Amino acid sequence: MGGAQDSRHVPPTRTPPSRRPPAPPTRPERALADDAFKPTRKWVVVVVGVVLVFGALSAYDVIRFGDKMPHKAVASASASPRHTVLAGSSSGPTPSDTATASPSPTVSASPSISPSPSLPAVHELSVLSVAAFGPNGTSDGDNPSGASRVLAGGAKPWTSSWYATAAFGNLQAGTGLLLDMGRVVSVSSVRVQLGDSVGANVELRLGDTAGAAADLATAASAYDVGGIVHMSPESAVRARYVLIWFTKLPPDTAGTYQVNVYDVTVDGRK
């Protein structure tokens, strides 16, 4: 037994292969590897060059313009508010400000306009008194006792004196009726009802004093009229006295000239 050999199989010991370093690439392989990295280096150089150029331009702007440099808006969560040019500032907005920041709308409070008070409607005004009136005033008026008839609107008119011609026989410049409104009013129009005979020339004169016909200004006139006559100034006139002044008389049935006035109405506002 002691001299017998062990019959168990023992695997042979294997020697690991030696790890030899890889052979250096040949010249063609090394050239291909270098060419693979060349585009990356070129782009790095380009990017660095662009950054240097913009940095140089920014430094030049800071040195040249100083505080006048426009404020750029930074698009970030912690960005400061955009620069706003105040009214009256010596430096106006630049194109870069316009491109980066639109101005905030200015809301101006318009003054409230209160409606103007509406004027009262034009209506017939009351007349305090009426008197016959001549060139020198009430002292030489025709038929003074019948003047009040024109306010009653009756069938019987006030009638002037008769004259040989339509121009008062060259004895005077005119005749008429003076209405005293009792206060200064706004006169818009006057309605006068004459007789049917046509041919009268009549003027509407207004004023605040009535010593004579010349004291009142002519506001409207009508020529060769008869029947109902309306006279209105171009705009309402403030006055106390209203003079219906005839400068030409219509013919009558007797072959002479005189005027008949049945009614006078004054419209306006107090």
Residue count of the chain:
270
If one counts the domains in the chain, the total is 2
Q: What angle do CA 216, 218, 224 make, to 5 degrees?
A: 130
Question: Residues 6 or more apart from 227 whose CB is under 8 A from it?
Answer: 193, 194, 195, 196, 198
From 6, 39, 70, the end of a domain falls on 70
Task: Enumerate residues 6+ apart whose C-beta is below 8 A from 145.
Answer: none
If asked whether residues 141 and 248 sit together in one domain, one would say yes
Number of H helices, E strands in the chain: 3, 9
Question: What pLDDT, in 10s, does the model give residues 107-162?
Answer: 555 555 555 567 789 999 999 999 999 999 999 999 999 999 999 877 899 999 99
Question: Do 127 and 258 fall within a single domain?
Answer: yes
pLDDT digits (tens, 9 = 90+) for 216-236: 999 999 999 999 999 999 999
Report if residue 243 sits inside a domain: yes
Query: Same domain for 127 and 61?
Result: no
What is the Cα–Cα distance from 224 to 169, expressed in whole angstroms? 18
pTM of the model: 0.57
| 61 and 149 belong to one structural domain | no
138 and 240 share a domain? yes
CATH code of residue 248 = 2.60.120.260
Query: Is residue 138 located within the same domain as residue 250?
Result: yes
pLDDT, tens digit (0-9, with 9 covering 90-100), for 27-40: 555 544 455 545 55
Instruction: Domain of residue 171: give its range.
Output: 123-269
Asked if residue 173 and residue 58 are part of one domain, the reply reads no
